[in-house]
Amino acid sequence: MKILKNLDNYLICYVLIVIAFIQLYNSQFDSLTPWKGGGFGMFSTNKNTNITATGYKKDGDSILINIVSSKFSIPISKNFLISTKNFPKKEKLKKLGKQIINSYLKPNHVEFPSNIDENTLNHINNNNKFYEFVYEPTYYENDATALAEEAIKIERIKLRLFQTDFFENDLTVKKSFIGEIEISN
C-alpha cells in the first residue's frame, strides 16, 4: 500500500525522468538534435559534426561531393543524414558512403562567398579543376535522364569527419579532424 502511495505522489517526477532519458538517448543516438526536445536542450552541447566527401572516378580523378538529403528516402533520407551527423558510427558512415556510390552524382557549379581568406582563395585558384563543380547525389528514374544531365557514377568515396567547437570567450570557431573512412563499390 505504501508503494502505491509513493508511486502516486511521485508519478509526475518519474514520467519527467523517463522522458528526459528518452530524449537524451534520441539526441545522442538517433535523429533528434541535442537542442530539440521539450526544454531538455540545456543538457546539449554546442559542438557540431561535419562530414565532407571526396569521390573518385574510374580514371582516378577526384571530385567534391555535397552530402544532401531529400524529403523522400531517395537516395539519402533526411532522418538518416541527421542521425549520422549526430552520432557518426562506422556502420552508419559505411551505409552513407554506399548510398552515395550507388546513386548518380549531378554536377553543380561551386559558388564561393566573398569573405574567403587569402590562403583558401589561393588554394582554390591552384586547384581550379577540383573546385569547379560540386556533385550532389540525385535520384533518376532511368540512366538516360542521368546521362543527359551529365550525372556521373564513382568507384569509391572518402568521408572525413570534423568537429566544430564554438568558444564564447573570444567568439572563435575551431575545427578539428576526427577521422576518415573510405568505401569502395
- Which of the listed ranges 23-27, 142-146, 156-160 does the model predict with the highest average pLDDT? 156-160
Q: What whole-number distance in Å separates Cα of residue 112 and Cα of residue 102?
A: 28
Greatest CA separation found in the chain?
78
Using one digit for the tens of pLDDT, what is the confidence trace for 132-151?
A: 899 999 888 888 988 898 99
Q: What whole-number distance in Å separates Cα of residue 24 and Cα of residue 29?
A: 9
Tally Cβ neighbours within 10 Å of residue 65. Answer: 21
pLDDT of residue 10: 82
Stronger pLDDT, 168 or 13, i.e. the higher one: 13
Q: How many residues does the chain have?
A: 185
pLDDT of residue 153: 92
Stronger pLDDT, 92 or 11, i.e. the higher one: 92
pLDDT of residue 46: 61
The overall average pLDDT reported for the chain is 82
Q: Report, as an integer, the average pLDDT of 160-173.
A: 79
Domain ranges of the chain: 1-44, 46-184
Res 169 pLDDT > 80: no
Using one digit for the tens of pLDDT, what is the confidence trace for 32-82?
A: 665 555 555 555 556 678 899 999 999 889 999 999 887 665 788 888 888
pLDDT of residue 55: 94
- Is residue 135 packed enough to be buried (19+ CB in 10 Å), middle (13-18) or exposed (0-12)? buried
Four-residue CA torsion sign, 141, 146, 151, 154: positive
Helices and strands counted in the chain (H then E): 5, 6
Res 111 pLDDT > 60: yes
pLDDT of residue 159: 95
pLDDT of residue 176: 86
Instruction: State the amino acid at position 146 in one-letter form.
Output: A
Q: Which residue has the cell 550507388?
A: 102
Stronger pLDDT, 45 or 122, i.e. the higher one: 122
